[in-house]
């Protein structure tokens, strides 16, 4: 039980009624809510019901003399441990991403010095709109924790992503954020090294071999480990993601550059190899752009060389091996058996096997099994941020009691 307080901004969407359930659920968990209701939010729930459930005055207006006399908007923005926007509408996300401050909710989001969690809910087309995607990226880059909405039937009759997650799931995320704020963190003093994204293997100055990896899972793991207090080095292939807050990103292109950057980043207490490293590279990368008619050939053949295996190389180090080495394995069948064979071949301690038979690559959800030498856990299908958080917690448990990077460096 926590005795924390959140500042809850209730935006104007059909899901606003669930914010009332959220206030009750949080109160049951010992978390108090002070609420701001936007003008649009007040079309769906009333200040009276918000106030009755939260047991406090519900704030609505930036220019209210009464409200300002009671608690100025700057003071209000700092009066809780965490600011939560739920439901966060497309408009609220856009205002927050662009730094608008023309009503009480947006001004509070601008003025607060506290962490912010936003829980979007909107029509599927609005959620998938390029503008919303840009805004979410910007907010995440600014260090705002933006949850992914659920998929399913919507109040408007359409189907897809955009539904507010279950109230219990939102309350869990809020409690998790609140726990992160208090006291020492489980990974303080530990160094985590992560690879993410694809590699690009050049053929000539304008062409390369690569794959569809988005980097989302690796970036989420880096963010989750940093949130638990680890110093995080993220060696990343080319992706279009903003670096998570507090993470040191080393950008690379090729597998060989990725290996070199990892070697340079050692020592580390944990190494997580999430990158989709290209297994091969063109044996020769031409210095000049290859021409269709080079040497009179119309269809040149491509000679390939094997890339170094970064996971194997770091796993099998005799000196300076990270204390815990975790690989990923993309499988469509016989998950446990294939993961164990891979673990043995590559010498790593755990394998996170993801079922890639569906829409995992590039998508926001993942279904994984955590395979360790003496166990296998099948985790339910969940968004990549939730997978990252759960894995980070397991890593923290495994590293508990180990000395951290000072010891590793000796
Ligand atoms: N890996 C690596 N360096 C490589 C290739 C892979 O570090 N050159 C790492 C990946 O980051 C991942 C694991 O090894 O942690 C995946 O191994 P891989 O053998 O590529 O497995 P799959 O992608 O699952 O493919 P396959 O089962 O076909 O071998």
Question: Please, where in the chain does CATH 3.40.50.10300 lie?
Answer: 191-283+294-401
Residue pair 199/210 in contact (Cβ under 8 Å)? The answer is: yes
Query: What does the block give as tokens for 6?
Result: 């959140």
- Check: CB of residue 326 under 8 Å from CB of residue 352: yes
pLDDT at residue number 35: 97
User: Is the distance from the beta carbon of residue 279 to the nearest atom of ligand 1 less than 6 Å?
Assistant: yes
Q: How far is the CA of 309 from the centre of ligand 1 (A)?
A: 8
Q: Answer whether 40 contacts ligand 1 (Cβ < 6 A).
A: no
86: CB partners within 8 A, 6+ apart: 8, 9, 10, 11, 18, 19, 22, 118, 119, 121, 164, 170
> Does 191-283+294-401 carry CATH code 1.10.10.60?
no
> 366 CA distance to ligand 1 centroid (A)?
17
pLDDT digits (tens, 9 = 90+) for 194-224: 999 999 999 999 999 999 999 999 999 999 9
In percent, the amount of the chain with pLDDT more than 70 equals 93
Q: Whose CA is nearest to atom 16 of ligand 1?
A: 329
Q: Is the pTM of this model over 0.75?
A: no
Question: Over the range 224-254, which residues count as b (16 or more CB within 10 Å of their CB) and which as e?
Answer: bbbbbbbbbbbbbbebebebbbebebbebbb
CB-ligand 1 contact for 309 (6 Å cutoff): yes
DSSP class per residue in 367-402: -EEEEETTEEEEPPSEEHHHHHHHHHHHHHHHHTTS
Cβ 405 vs Cβ 191: under 8 Å = yes
CA of 328 to the centre of ligand 1 (A): 7
Report the residue among 263, 327, 360 best suited for mutation to probe ligand 1: largest number of ligand atoms under 8 A from its CB. 327
Ligand 1 binding pocket includes 97 (Cβ within 6 Å)? no
CA dist., res. 303 & res. 284, Å (int): 8
First to last CA, the chain: 40
Pocket test for ligand 1, best of 311, 335, 341 (most atoms within 8 A of CB): 311
What per-residue confidence (pLDDT) applies to 74? 84
Query: What is the CATH code for 4-180?
Result: 3.40.50.1950
- Cβ contact 11:37 at 8 Å: no
273 lines ligand 1 (CB under 6 A): yes
State which ligand 1 atom lies nearest to the alpha carbon of 312. Answer: 7
Q: 347-375, pLDDT tens digit by residue?
A: 999 999 987 776 656 677 888 999 999 99
CA distances (Å), origin 260, targets 84, 214, 218, 313:
41, 22, 18, 11
pLDDT tens-digit series, residues 111-141: 998 999 999 999 999 999 999 999 998 998 8
Q: Quickly state the pLDDT bin for 407 (edges 50, 70, 90).
A: very low
Ligand 1 centre and the CA of 127: distance in Å? 33
Q: Which ligand 1 atom sits closest to the C-alpha of 308? A: 8
């Amino acid at each position: 039980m926590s005795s924390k307080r959140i500042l809850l901004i209730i935006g104007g969407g059909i899901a606003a009624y669930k914010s009332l359930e959220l206030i009750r659920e949080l109160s049951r968990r010992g978390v108090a809510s002070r609420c701001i209701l936007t003008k649009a939010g007040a079309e769906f729930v009333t200040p009276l019901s918000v106030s009755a459930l939260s047991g406090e005055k519900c704030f609505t207006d930036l220019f209210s003399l009464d409200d300002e006399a009671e608690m100025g908007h700057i003071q209000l923005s700092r009066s809780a441990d965490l600011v939560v926007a739920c439901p966060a509408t497309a408009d609220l996300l856009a205002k927050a991403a662009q730094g608008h401050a023309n009503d009480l909710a947006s001004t509070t989001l601008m003025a607060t010095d506290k962490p912010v969690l936003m829980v979007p809910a909107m029509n599927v087309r609005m959620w998938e709109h390029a503008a919303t995607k840009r805004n979410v990226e910007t907010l995440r880059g600014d260090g705002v924790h933006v949850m992914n909405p659920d998929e399913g039937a919507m109040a408007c009759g359409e189907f897809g992503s955009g539904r507010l997650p279950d109230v219990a799931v939102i309350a869990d995320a809020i409690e998790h954020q609140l726990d992160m704020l208090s006291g020492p963190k489980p990974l303080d003093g530990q160094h985590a090294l992560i690879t993410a994204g694809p590699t690009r293997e050049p053929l000539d100055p304008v062409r390369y071999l690569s794959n569809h990896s988005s980097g989302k899972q690796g970036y989420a793991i880096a963010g989750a480990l940093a949130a638990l207090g680890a110093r995080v080095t993220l060696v990343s292939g080319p992706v279009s993601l903003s670096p998570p807050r507090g993470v040191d990103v080393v950008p690379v292109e090729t597998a060989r550059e990725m290996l070199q950057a990892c070697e340079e980043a050692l020592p580390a207490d944990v190494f997580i190899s999430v990158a989709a490293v290209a297994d091969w590279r063109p044996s020769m990368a031409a210095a000049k752009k290859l021409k269709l008619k080079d040497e009179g050939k119309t269809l040149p053949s491509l000679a390939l060389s094997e890339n170094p295996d970064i996971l194997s190389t770091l796993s099998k180090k005799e000196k300076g091996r990270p204390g815990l080495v975790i690989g990923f394995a993309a499988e469509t069948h016989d998950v446990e058996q294939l993961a164990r064979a891979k673990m043995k071949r590559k010498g790593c301690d755990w394998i996170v096997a993801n079922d890639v038979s569906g829409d995992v690559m590039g998508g926001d959800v993942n279904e994984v099994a955590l395979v360790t030498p003496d166990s296998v856990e099948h985790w339910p299908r969940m968004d990549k941020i939730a997978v990252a958080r759960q894995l980070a917690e397991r890593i923290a448990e495994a590293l508990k009691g180990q000395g951290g990077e000072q010891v590793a460096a000796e």
